[in-house]
Structure 1
Amino acid sequence: MIDVHDLTKRYGSHVAVDRVTFHCPPATVTGFLGANGAGKSTVMRILVGLAMATSGSATIDGRRYRDIPDPATRIGILLDASAQHAGRTGREALAMSAFQLGLPRSRVDQVLAAVGLRPEESLRRIRGYSLGMRQRLGLAHALLGNPDVLILDEPANGLDPAGIRWMRDLLREYAADGGTVLLSSHLLAEVEAVADRFVLIGEGRILAQGTKDELLGDRRTFVRAAPQKPLTLALDEAGLTWTRHGDGLLIDTDAHRIWPLVPNGVVIEELRPASAAGLEDLFLRITAQTQRDTQRTGASA
């Protein structure tokens, strides 16, 4: 498990991380969400011993990374997929790491297969890899020691839709086997599809955290219909509250109450729980409020 408690990191007068606290339990994927520069990478670098905290703690299974024996066999890390020796082949890079960890060479073949790098691709020089291939190789390095914990920073960068779906399935299977995953991204929709819990960070501070249901508490339904006006009239007659949302409607009720109200001739193009699209809205709303609060504080200082 991962525990971050009251973590603060300052660079001179700049506070990069401000009293951050969250917990990642076993058998879960935790989405660590925030815009670029929000503090995600700083927290993760402190977790894996690449930066020192100004105050607070960041532990894995109750210990700091530096205090864990053979940490690469306990914790898999992918922070920067481009930080690999460009002159080596993918297989050579993994074989060298396996040798250093005392792992059998067969483990290299296992992780290459797990991340979908074909034998001919593994024999190519890393300098010739696409970004998506580097991401797969980086994840292979993270999985090499068969760790209990994965800490991944923006692992979906450069992956095509099929690659993103593959990574989603891999991480869900990993968590189902009891693993702990901390997954950082600014792509909220992608993380929303795989994560059990979410930690939203902005300007170095935790904005919100919890499961999707805890964060949204939303039983509304999103509906996209054509034409829209007959449906809104029917909703009004039924006494249901609705608001326009993008090219559709947010209706304050469950989906099963809406179907009987759909007038003849109205085509329902999309109908789903509002929470399926609500996390991004929540994040943008909270972030905007945080920025306004910061601006007011700065103006009054």
Structure 2
Amino acid sequence: MVENRPLLTFFSHLALIVGISFIALPVWLAFVVSTQEASALFAGQVPLWPGEHFIENYSSILFEGEKNSGAPPILLMITNSLVMAVCVAVGKITISIISAYAIVYFQFPFRQAIFWMIFMTLMLPVEVRILPTFEVIAQLGMLNSYAGLTIPLIASATATFLFRQFYMTIPDEMIEAARMDGAGPIRFFVDILLPLSRTNIAALFVILFIFGWNQYLWPLLVTTDASYYTVVMGIQRMMAVPDSDPIWHYVMATAILGMIPPVIVVVTMQKLFVKGLIETEK
């Protein structure tokens, strides 16, 4: 029986409203700034309500870009970020799920040693191995390309570890039943393991999509052509304009538009994401 405590309910809702306000206020201010003209912002006062230049500012940044910094239109940068984030997420999950399947269900020499070698790569993030990785990508001629943006970020020891731990919880009786029904390794993988891994795949996809979307250092190194700029790179270019002040309403408009795809992914896959994090029995 749930006790009715009006005072406790009031304070719980108050704390929730205050927390949401702290999170939502910067987003609201960014949206307000994105609808103002430059002269209103350089006056030193940030308005609290949207201005009259919403359509003008957003249409300009969507289709024309920001000319002072050389940033391309935001539609192009969002496309580049989407390609990078989706390729990184799908690539990491694909390679990790196959490697975890091989490590758990196939017997071959040095199986555990190979797994721990993969796991040890967690101690070597992109920033540590960035120079040799850049040299390899440059020698392969993959600078200023989607392949150069995504391939070096695809391998993931974390996802391999998570899938391995999940596969080890599947009872041996299920494997024996599949074998008695005549299921080979590929059929067992496609018909049994992949459906059981659905929530894990969804949870990892959300995390890895945001990881790929927020990448800055690696795209900054391998990209010199403006047609391959990502959203994060575009925002940085707009804020670091030499001999000029940033055009803040364009910067904020880019930031607001750049938030939309990750929010859509999180909201769309919210239920599967939560299940993938908390579900213990499949």
What TM bracket, shorter-length normalisation? under 0.3
Higher relative CO (CA 8 A, sep ≥ 6), structure 1 or 2? 2
Higher strand fraction: Structure 1 or Structure 2? Answer: 1
Q: Normalised by the size of structure 1, how large is the TM-score?
A: 0.21
Give the structure with higher Rg (CA).
2
Higher helix fraction: Structure 1 or Structure 2? Answer: 2
